[in-house]
A and B are shown apart, each in its own frame.
Chain A
């Protein structure tokens, strides 16, 4: 008993007090800022070295749905491209993930673009079923961490559940392999309507480094509306949590 008390005393108070304003390391690779003065030559250089072709060769924009946050473009052009430590990266429209040169406003979710029934039905309690569809286990671990003693997304009534029958939506990680395409469909079909789909991580949003390889089957994504895109490699718990809270309209 005494030993337990000692451990709890050492453990202290672990929960992050405000998940909306918690700061992360300066080095965290969050929202990029591209200088409006980036030259055409520099854009071509950055686009050429990007391992996932996330940089548009003509416009110099970075697609956060493809970006794996390796930061090589910023190392090559430190005066023109910079990754801030802003972790609020989640959006509801795919096109909002394209960051253009000169863009300097943070990414936010406009409630006009969110399906009305989502907020009406799930704002008080959102149960999610996670499906790893060939994810590499880093985003999965971070999603699990979002419910841990530090982040505790459960305080907002958001939880991951064991059965799709108990769920209000799915969170997909991974580029979606051919071998997972049928289990993914079966699991999604087992969720009662209305239901939401969240894509977490660059692999899920665009295929990441696996984009175009023959072992994948991403046809599932063509069939349904995607409700939330959460970039990252892996997704940081704070990115996921803030994205879900913004989707629900929870302050």
Chain B
């Protein structure tokens, strides 16, 4: 694009020296950003501040899906800046980033359409604001009522509050209020400086995405240290990532069946999920893959015997999953509940900045494995699944389609592994030293969608900022849009069809 001032990062993970990041004046920054984000093929993967004494740097990272690059540029403001004009009113997908900055630094974004608290972090700018006083949008009418659900929910799931404004059984508006799970993860990243500590921490950002997040961290650490890892280890990491995806997709199918009382589907898929995660446990001793991904090496190299075991199990699991999903998606009772329920249009998904499965079921092909390939995906030419109806049925069926795609990726990689010479096992390296004054961006397509970790190092190579973005940061709002004009009793299937992370959002 002509006239765009940015540094283009060509690889994923990628580095840019801080000094090389163009600094634009704010009106230029606003104009450039809102122009870029009009196109579906550009989306903002991160927008955050870095404070240095007398000034504040605002860094934005915009992914270009066509060129496979990541554009980085910034604007700089004095430390005592009180307000800025909001860019969200032109490019709504930035709403959540401007809200985050407002909550942490107090900088008011004028004209922002929905400047509400994000997660009530312990280091918020206004300490006197408490999570129990969240300012919900209200309707004054004798014909409407409010339904509040949470923070603690009926099932065994994480806490969050859902406030429905209803007209009879129809939802006019859903406001999702999170923050209950806030643990201060980004702070802990800065305080616990050992690489092993950071590795285990990254596995806990969202425990159901232990492989996804730990891979995002590990890639970033290796890029900052200038460490290249061998082809075999790279392939093993993707096998672990796809196993995680398959396990959750099968589990989600079980949960969706449970919500529409289709018990055959529920119990079969529960048992299949157990088989997949027990296979992961046979690889590394942990059902969630905690321990597999480490910087510079691994404690659990994938031996040929274990790879054969994985393929053996997956063959039977796949046969049964295909068999049961053929049943599920032909059942008229299930279809009646899923079809046209909770629809999200392509325009809504684009405006809201949807990523991952929420984007791919509304016709937007966003998948880091294709657009910004990392690890073994660089040679794989992954073709993402794409559906268009944007309803619960699309999101449910996407699980089945992606399960099969993941299975074929694992098959391919295991075959490649067997052709590779058996390397000497390389243990993890916790002594990596990072380059100075760098910004590093690392993107991974977790099972929900794109994970983005961004690190900034100082003149001593110390990490002074670690910004974590879980795909749920974008997608919770998409769920809120999905239930508008829907029956409130369909909320559980809508919620489960997205299956977003509370702790990944709250950090």
A143 within 8 A of B: yes
Report the separation of the CA atoms of residues A130 and B264 in the bound assembly, to the nearest whole angstrom: 26
- A150 close to B270 (CB less than 8 A): yes
A101 at the interface (CB under 8 A from B): no
A122-172: which have CB < 8 Å to B?
130-145, 148-150, 160, 162-163
| Residue interface bits B149-163, CB-to-A below 8 A is 1, else 0 | 001101111110000
CB distance from A127 to the nearest CB of B (A): 13
CA distance A86 to B122 in the complex (A): 39
Chain B CB within 10 Å, residue with most, of A24, A162, A180: A180
Q: Give the shortest distance, in Å, between B467 (CB) and chain A (any CB).
A: 17
User: A71 contacts B281, CB within 8 Å?
Assistant: no
Task: Decide if A68 is an interface residue (CB 8 Å cutoff).
Answer: yes
Number of interface residues of B (CB under 8 A): 68
Knowing A72-B196, A130-B156, say if A175 contacts B183 (CB, 8 Å): yes
**Most central of B183, B281, B324 by chain A CB within 10 Å:** B183
Q: What CA separation (Å) do A70 and B290 show in the bound complex?
A: 8
Q: Who on chain B is nearest to A83 by CB?
A: B285
Tell me whether B278 is interfacial, beta carbon within 8 Å: yes
The answer to the question of B83 belonging to the interface, with a C-beta cut-off of 8 Å to chain A, is: no
B285 touches A27 (CB 8 A): yes
Asked if A120 is at the interface (CB within 8 A of a chain B CB), the reply is no
Of A2-10, A37-45, A102-110, A242-250, the segment with at least 4 beta carbons within 8 Å of chain B is: A2-10
- The one of B131, B284, B327 in contact with A3, judged by C-beta atoms closer than 8 angstroms, is B327
Which of A56-64, A111-119, A210-218, A221-229 lines the interface with chain B? A210-218
Instruction: Give Cα distance in the complex from A183 to B411, angstroms.
Output: 46
Q: Is the C-beta of B187 less than 8 angstroms from some C-beta in chain A?
A: yes
Interface residues in B112-144 by Cβ distance below 8 A to A read 120-123, 131-132
Most buried by B among A83, A138, A216: A138
Is B188 interfacial (CB 8 A cutoff)?
A: yes
A35 at the interface (CB under 8 A from B): no
Chain B residues 185 to 216 lying within 8 A of chain A, measured CB to CB, are 187-188, 191-192, 194, 196-197, 199-201, 204-208, 210
Tell yes or no: B301 within 8 A of A by CB.
Answer: no
Interface size on A, residues (CB 8 A): 65
Q: Which residue of B lies closest to A178 (CB)?
A: B122
B430 (CB) vs chain A CBs: closest residue: A49
Contact A27 B182 (CB under 8 A): no
List the A side residues contacting B187 at CB < 8 Å.
213-215
A residues within 8 A CB of B151? 180, 183
Interface string of B269-292 (1 = CB under 8 A from A): 011001000100111111110110
Q: Is A19 in the interface zone, CB < 8 Å from B?
A: no
* B501, CB-defined interface residue at 8 Å: yes
Return chain B residues, CB-CB under 8 Å to A51. Answer: 192, 194, 196-197, 199-200
By a CB distance below 8 angstroms, the chain B residues around A7 are 264, 268, 320, 323-324, 327
Contact check, A11 vs B282: say whether CB atoms are below 8 A apart.
Answer: no
Beyond A71-B291, A134-B182, whether A234 also contacts B207 by CB under 8 A is: yes
B326 part of interface (Cβ distance < 8 Å) = yes
Question: Is the C-beta of B24 less than 8 angstroms from some C-beta in chain A?
Answer: no
Tell me the complex Cα distance, A193–B196, Å: 43
- What CA separation (Å) do A234 and B206 show in the bound complex? 12
Is A134's CB under 8 angstroms from B156's CB? no
Inside 8 A of B287's CB, which chain A residues have their CB? 142, 234, 236
Beta-carbon nearest neighbor of A215 in chain B: B184
Given the complex, which residues of B lie within 8 Å of A72, measured CB to CB?
Answer: 196, 299
State whether the Cβ of A32 lies closer than 8 Å to any Cβ in chain B. Answer: no
In the complex, are the beta carbons of B181 and A174 less than 8 A apart? yes
B466 at the interface (CB under 8 A from A): no
B447 CB–A CB distance under 8 Å = no
Instruction: Note all chain A residues with C-beta closer than 8 A to B299.
Output: 71-72, 75
Check B501 against A137 for contact (C-beta < 8 Å): yes
Q: Which residue of B lies closest to A10 (CB)?
A: B320
Query: What's the least CB distance linking B332 to chain A, in Å?
Result: 13
A21 at the interface (CB under 8 A from B): no
Say whether A179 contacts B156, CB under 8 Å.
Answer: no
Q: A143 vs B196: C-alpha distance in the bound complex, in angstroms?
A: 27
Query: Is there a chain B Cβ closer than 8 Å to A98's Cβ?
Result: no
From B178, which residue of chain A is reached at the shortest CB distance? A179
CA distance A177 to B187 in the complex (A): 14
Interface string of A48-86 (1 = CB under 8 A from B): 010110000000000000001111100100000001000
Is B164's CB within 8 Å of the partner chain A? no
Q: Given A140-B156, A160-B156, A180-B181, are A25 and B207 also a contact pair (CB < 8 Å)?
A: no
Chain B min CB distance to A216 (Å):
7
Contact of B326 among A3, A24, A163, A175 (CB under 8 A): A3
- Nearest-neighbour CB distance to chain A for B126, whole angstroms, equals 15
Q: Are A136 and B278 in contact (CB under 8 A)?
A: no
A-B CB contact pairs (8 Å), 13 listed: A7-B323, A11-B267, A25-B281, A51-B197, A70-B196, A70-B291, A136-B208, A137-B157, A141-B251, A145-B270, A187-B152, A213-B184, A216-B184
5 closest A-B pairs (Cβ-Cβ)? A138-B207, A136-B207, A215-B184, A27-B285, A162-B154
- List 14 other contacts, CB 8 Å, given A137-B501, A180-B180, A210-B184: A7-B327, A25-B285, A27-B281, A27-B285, A51-B192, A143-B156, A177-B506, A179-B180, A179-B182, A210-B204, A214-B122, A215-B122, A215-B184, A216-B183
Could you list which residues of chain A lie within 8 angstroms of chain B, going by C-beta atoms? 3-4, 6-8, 10-11, 14, 24-25, 27-29, 49, 51-52, 68-72, 75, 83, 130-145, 148-150, 160, 162-163, 174-175, 177-180, 182-183, 187, 203, 208-210, 213-216, 233-234, 236
- Which B residues have a C-beta under 8 Å from some C-beta of A? 120-123, 131-132, 151-152, 154-159, 179-184, 187-188, 191-192, 194, 196-197, 199-201, 204-208, 210, 251, 264, 267-268, 270-271, 274, 278, 281-288, 290-291, 299, 319-320, 323-324, 326-327, 330, 427, 430, 501-503, 506
